[in-house]
Amino acid sequence: MGGKTARALVVDALLGGVVAAAMALPMLGVRLEDGSTGLSLSGRLDWVAWAAGSVAGARLLIGLLRLGLAGRGPSLPAPPRAMMVYVGWAMVAFALILPFLPFSGRNLVDKATLVLIYVMLGWGLNIVVGLAGLLDLGFVAFYAVGAYSYALLSQTFGLSFWVCLPLAGLLAAAFGMVLGFPVLRLRGDYIAIVTMGLGEIVRVVLQNWQDVTGGPNGISGIERPSLFGLSFKMVPPEGSQTFAEFFGLDYSADHRVIFLYFLILALALLTNVITLRIRRLPVGRAWEALREDEIACRSLGINPTLVKLSAFATGAMFAGFAGSFFATRQGFISPESFTFIESAVILAIVVLGGMGSQIGIVLAALLLVGLPEWFRELQQFRMLAFGGAMVLIMLWKPAGLLSTREPTIRLGEAK
């Protein structure tokens, strides 16, 4: 590190400290005290000094860290595509045998189910953000539509999970197209602002439309799925058999947990297969063309309106499937489960994993959802660790863990 660079880091840290002191002075430097003679003002300049010193030290540390990591991330070669295929199949094989491993238990399978829900949501949002380049901050709205669609269809009309699942996906896709219309003429940050607003509108509607959605009380007693009519309850409904009775097993509550795990695993793998196939079709290539340059996309005769709507609808359909599964797994849903922080977490998974990378999203979901669940006793530090991890990864790999940003298909050469 040269003298000029060190001087620049110190000047930057001092400027940060001065700005922090100026902001902290009115908020932390003055205190209103209630004494025997009435109210009086006292100074807390030591608090201001601590705030300014902390900011200056943090900026200096970040600068040194950035210099230390400079050149390492970008110089890391992108993993060969053949190796990524093997890694993907190995991850699928591990996921299939996970419930039967010696160290596996109900707690681990339940956490893996939660991670798979976010993997599925990440792959759905990856179509909108990673492939089509549309920054969507309201993705949780489609998740909510799928969950409430299943709950209302199941309780109102008595439909089974297997009938409600495709209906919830179709309703979420239709809602995705409705949401797509307001952002057809928008680009960049404006899309993010509008989608965030629409996502909040959905949550507010769910909270206030009490006659239909139950309002803040939510919907409880949501029907659990069965395996071809075999119930996972201890006492089956009249005229039906339980899973344990049919296969001659002793009843165990773990059967239902493992069944739900394999159900979300199948849905996630189906999402992955469909996404990979669509990327090779004209509509998938149109998404990538729109992501790279919308003006060039128009000049090639591609209709951006249809491309955007197809991306929103496809991503929303997968979110609707995930929402249906979430509702049947929890047995209870309320608007509190679909706040903006859920959209932020899903978007962070896509960005940190690498926009367009399927395996990168799995790794990011394990990092951002799996690890905090495992260390739940440290929940008060959860958001602090979440923010720290994001800062470190943005410094080390700004484009994401496994992002290569290459087209899926080249002219005359299948990638």
What tens digit of pLDDT does each residue of 69-126 get?
A: 665 555 555 566 677 778 888 888 999 998 888 888 888 898 899 999 999 999 999 8
Tokens linked to 97: 């045998």
Mean pLDDT of 351-375: 80
Q: Where are the alpha helices (H) located in 209-293, listed in sequence order?
A: 210-213, 243-247, 254-280, 282-292
- In angstroms and rounded to an integer, the radius of gyration of the C-alpha atoms of the chain is 25
Place of tokens 């053949």: 82
* Out of 115-119, 374-378, 392-396, least confident range: 374-378
Q: What angle do CA 138, 144, 150 make, to 5 degrees?
A: 155
User: How would residue 344 be classed by pLDDT, with cut points 50, 70 and 90?
Assistant: confident
Question: In a 10 Å sphere around its CB, with 0-12 CB exposed, 13-18 middle and 19+ buried, how is residue 69 labelled?
Answer: middle
Place of tokens 């951002």: 368
What mean pLDDT is reported for the chain? 82
* pLDDT recorded at residue 326: 92
Beta carbons within 10 angstroms of residue 375's beta carbon: 12
Q: What angle do CA 271, 274, 277 make, to 5 degrees?
A: 145
| Higher per-residue pLDDT: 374 or 58 | 58
Place of tokens 């990327």: 279
* pLDDT recorded at residue 104: 81
Mean pLDDT of 302-315: 87
Range 82-396: architecture per CATH: Orthogonal Bundle (1.10)
Half-sphere exposure of 276 (CA within 13 A, CB side): 13
Mean pLDDT of 244-253: 78
Distances (CA, A) of 326 to 30, 95, 146, 222: 49, 19, 9, 11
Buried b (16+ CB within 10 A) or exposed e, 349-366: bbbbbbbbbbbbbbbbbb
Q: At what angle do helices 161-180 and 304-330 cross, to 10 degrees?
A: 140
Half-sphere exposure of 339 (CA within 13 A, CB side): 4
Mean pLDDT of 295-306: 83
* pLDDT recorded at residue 266: 93
- Please, which residues have CB within 8 angstroms of residue 395's CB and are 6 or more apart in sequence? 62, 65, 66, 69
Q: Reply yes or no on whether the pLDDT at 415 is more than 50.
A: no
Q: How many angstroms separate the most distant Cα atoms in the chain?
A: 86
Tokens linked to 382: 């959860």
* pLDDT recorded at residue 289: 84
Instruction: Write out pLDDT tens, residues 124-170.
Output: 998 888 888 888 888 899 999 999 999 999 988 888 888 999 999 99
Mean pLDDT of 286-291: 84
- Which amino acid makes up residue 326? F
Q: Give the span between the Cα atoms of 166 and 310, in whole angstroms.
A: 17
Q: Reply yes or no on whether the pLDDT at 337 is more than 70.
A: yes
Q: Reply yes or no on whether the pLDDT at 39 is more than 80.
A: no
- Which amino acid makes up residue 375? F
In sign, the C-alpha dihedral spanning 143, 376, 386, 74 is negative
Q: Reply yes or no on whether the pLDDT at 36 is more than 90.
A: no
Q: Reply yes or no on whether the pLDDT at 317 is more than 80.
A: yes
Strand partners, 333: 219
* Out of 66-80, 134-148, 237-251, 352-366, least confident range: 66-80
* pLDDT recorded at residue 149: 93
Mean pLDDT of 371-391: 68
Give the chain's end-to-end CA distance (angstroms, integer).
Answer: 41
* Out of 41-50, 66-75, 163-172, least confident range: 66-75
Mean pLDDT of 337-353: 86
Q: Reply yes or no on whether the pLDDT at 321 is more than 80.
A: yes
Q: What is the distance of C-alpha 130 from the center of its chain?
A: 13
Instruction: Write out pLDDT tens, residues 4-33.
Output: 777 888 888 888 888 888 888 877 777 777
Q: What angle do CA 69, 71, 77 make, to 5 degrees?
A: 110
Share of the chain above pLDDT 90, in %: 17
Domain ranges (residues) in the chain: 1-69, 82-396
| Higher per-residue pLDDT: 297 or 374 | 297
